[in-house]
């Protein structure tokens, strides 16, 4: 074990979105690359918004992605005494003070600053309260907050592994709240207290935290902590360059999962957002990433996520996946889509495997796989319009299908080999091209014009289904079609 200790510290206020997931990934990669420790911490100091169900979802998503941790999860809500003790220390050392200003009282100042187009800073009303003032406030029943005393001058420098040194003027910062009036710590306080108390060596997090870092640094300094290193990774933006939100479609890991993306593919894709393994590599496994990962090579630029590349990556993984494994992954999608078809095939593992194996290289997601395999699980599909025009409406098609149907009777079971032989024989004696027979057959059996090899389809479907569908097509052509 090295000295490297990093943490992933989500707050359980929603599902794990792709930005947070990538932050987790980078923490994971760095920890593994440096043979360090990854700590999982739940930053749940916001009682209003934190939900236990989200904790479970967060963990579930991380597990699904294959990103494990070495320590934790720790819950900030269970460490409240730590924060109040540290705040007490600050109070006794005069580095922090009680503030009795109410939200309403402060609002007017904020409003004024806003109207004058100036930035609002807490004026420090309660910096030097006299005892009798405190008594008066207490008598009113006011519950104070605790504010950190910020130096009026000087600069605070964030040493960032990705962005180098970033400096802030202390005069732009105000005495911010570290303990709320309900006794709970604010994020800027709890976060840095834990990071330091837990001996986190590197804080790797999203860029949205960069502006808050000087506040946390000031806390750490006041508390006398040894300062950790920082690495602020760029944000992931929606396709319109705006911040990710619900209206941008799938943004949470859970949503990508239900869209039918494989965890390996999502991880691969996320790694490529803001980092390049080098040597023009695009497809890369988690363990290969670990070997190649380097925090200093992480980009500074925000990335826009683009699902078309994710889909391409996903297609690659699907093709590489072992059939058993892919069948297992695809099953929930198949079930969801065809549960009501009463086809009886959903419990037939061998059948599912054959289907998956036949269609897997034609789909980019599991969801798409389940869609293009519909004819394996339902009988009353429609015929593709263009296919009907091209195949069924041609003179002689019915006879071709009728011949095929009766010739099929001579075969005990259908295999891709014996059906192909049959087709070749039929076409030769009937003096038609193979394609002339295959097109209508495909449409009759699947309703589509494309898909897996037709002989494979016949083998999987089996003699009864094939015969049944040929009959259905013959009936359709003879009775349902307006020529």
Partner RNA sequence: GGCCCCUUCGUCUAAUCGGUUAGGACACCAGCCUUUCAAGCUGGCAGCAGGGGUUCGAAUCCCCUAGGGGUCACCA
Residues with catalytic annotation?
Answer: 246
Residues in 128-157 at the binding interface with RNA, rule: CB under 7 A: 143, 145
Examine residue 108 and tell whether it contacts RNA (CB under 7 A).
Answer: no
Distance in Å from the first CA to the final CA of the chain: 77
Binding RNA (rule: CB under 7 A), the pick from 312, 346, 378, 393 is: 312
CB contact at 8 A, 68 and 40: no
Binding RNA (rule: CB under 7 A), the pick from 120, 225, 381, 476 is: 120
How far is it, in rounded angstroms, from Cα 24 to Cα 45? Answer: 20
**CA nearest to 13, candidates 63, 57, 65:** 57
CB contact at 8 A, 132 and 193: no
Examine residue 438 and tell whether it contacts RNA (CB under 7 A).
Answer: yes
Examine residue 163 and tell whether it contacts RNA (CB under 7 A).
Answer: yes
Q: Which stretch binds RNA (CB under 7 A): 54-62, 65-73, 430-438, 475-483?
A: 430-438
Task: Please state, in angstroms and as integers, the Cα–Cα distance from residue 138 to each residue in 132, 344, 449, following that order.
Answer: 10, 73, 80
Examine residue 20 and tell whether it contacts RNA (CB under 7 A).
Answer: no
Binding RNA (rule: CB under 7 A), the pick from 23, 404, 451, 461 is: 451
**CA nearest to 192, candidates 161, 228, 163, 160:** 228
- Output the six-digit token pair for 473: 């097509």
Helices and strands per DSSP (H, E), number in the chain: 20, 12
Residues 270-309: x where in contact with RNA by CB under 7 A, - otherwise, as a string: --xxxxx-x-x-x--------------x-xxxxxxxx-xx
Residues 356-395: x where in contact with RNA by CB under 7 A, - otherwise, as a string: -----xx---------------------------------
Q: Which stretch binds RNA (CB under 7 A): 31-39, 78-86, 123-131, 171-179?
A: 171-179
How far is it, in rounded angstroms, from Cα 177 to Cα 158? Answer: 21
**Residue whose CB is less far from RNA, 202 or 215:** 215
* Least Cβ distance, residue 424 to RNA (angstroms): 8
Residues in 87-106 at the binding interface with RNA, rule: CB under 7 A: 101-103, 106
Partners of 252 in beta bridges? 17
How far is it, in rounded angstroms, from Cα 365 to Cα 371? Answer: 10
Count of residues of this chain found to bind RNA when the rule CB under 7 A is applied? 88
* Least Cβ distance, residue 174 to RNA (angstroms): 7
CB contact at 8 A, 37 and 5: yes
Examine residue 323 and tell whether it contacts RNA (CB under 7 A).
Answer: no
Binding RNA (rule: CB under 7 A), the pick from 92, 108, 119, 380 is: 119
């Amino acid at each position: 074990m090295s000295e490297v200790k990093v943490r992933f510290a989500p707050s359980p206020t929603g599902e794990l979105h792709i930005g947070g997931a990538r932050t987790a990934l980078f923490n994971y990669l760095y920890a593994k690359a440096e043979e360090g420790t990854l700590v999982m911490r739940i930053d749940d100091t916001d009682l209003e918004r934190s939900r236990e169900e989200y904790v479970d979802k967060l963990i579930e998503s991380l597990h699904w992605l294959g990103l494990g941790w070495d320590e934790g999860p720790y819950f900030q809500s269970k460490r409240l005494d730590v924060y109040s003790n540290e705040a007490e220390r600050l109070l006794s050392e005069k580095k922090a003070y009680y503030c009795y200003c109410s939200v309403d009282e402060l609002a007017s100042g904020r409003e004024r600053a806003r109207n004058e187009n100036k930035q609002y800073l807490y004026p420090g009303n309660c910096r030097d309260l006299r005892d009798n003032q405190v008594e008066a406030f207490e008598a009113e029943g006011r519950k104070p907050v605790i504010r950190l005393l910020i130096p009026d001058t000087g600069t605070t420098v964030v040493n960032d592994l990705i962005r180098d040194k970033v400096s802030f003027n202390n005069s732009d910062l105000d005495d911010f709240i570290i303990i709320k009036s309900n006794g709970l710590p604010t994020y800027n306080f709890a976060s840095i207290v834990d990071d330091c108390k837990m001996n986190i060596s590197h804080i790797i997090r999203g860029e949205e935290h960069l502006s808050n870092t000087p506040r946390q640094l000031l806390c750490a300094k006041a508390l006398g902590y040894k300062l950790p290193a920082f690495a602020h990774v760029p944000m992931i933006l929606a396709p319109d360059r705006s911040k990710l939100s619900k209206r941008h479609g799938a943004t949470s890991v859970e949503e990508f999962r239900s869209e039918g993306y494989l965890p390996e593919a999502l991880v691969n894709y996320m790694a490529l957002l803001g980092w390049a393994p080098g040597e023009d590599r695009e497809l890369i496994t988690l363990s290969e990433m670990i070997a190649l990962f380097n925090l200093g090579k992480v980009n500074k630029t925000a990335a826009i996520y683009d699902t078309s590349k994710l889909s391409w990556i996903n297609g690659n993984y699907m093709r590489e996946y072992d059939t058993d494994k892919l069948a297992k992954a695809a099953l929930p999608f198949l079930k969801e889509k065809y549960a009501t078809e009463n086809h009886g095939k959903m419990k037939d593992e061998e059948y599912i495997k054959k289907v998956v194996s036949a269609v897997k290289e034609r789909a980019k997601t599991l969801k798409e796989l389940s869609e293009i395999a519909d004819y394996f699980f339902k009988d009353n599909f429609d015929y593709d319009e263009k296919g009907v025009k091209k195949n069924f409406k041609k003179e002689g098609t019915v006879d071709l299908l009728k011949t095929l149907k009766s010739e099929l009777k001579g075969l005990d079971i259908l295999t891709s080999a014996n059906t192909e032989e049959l087709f070749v024989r039929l076409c030769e004696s009937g003096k038609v091209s193979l394609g002339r027979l295959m097109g209508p057959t495909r449409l009759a059996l699947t309703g589509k014009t494309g898909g897996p090899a037709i002989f494979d389809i016949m083998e999987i479907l089996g003699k009864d289904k094939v015969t049944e569908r040929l009959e259905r097509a013959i009936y359709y052509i003879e009775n349902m079609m307006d020529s």
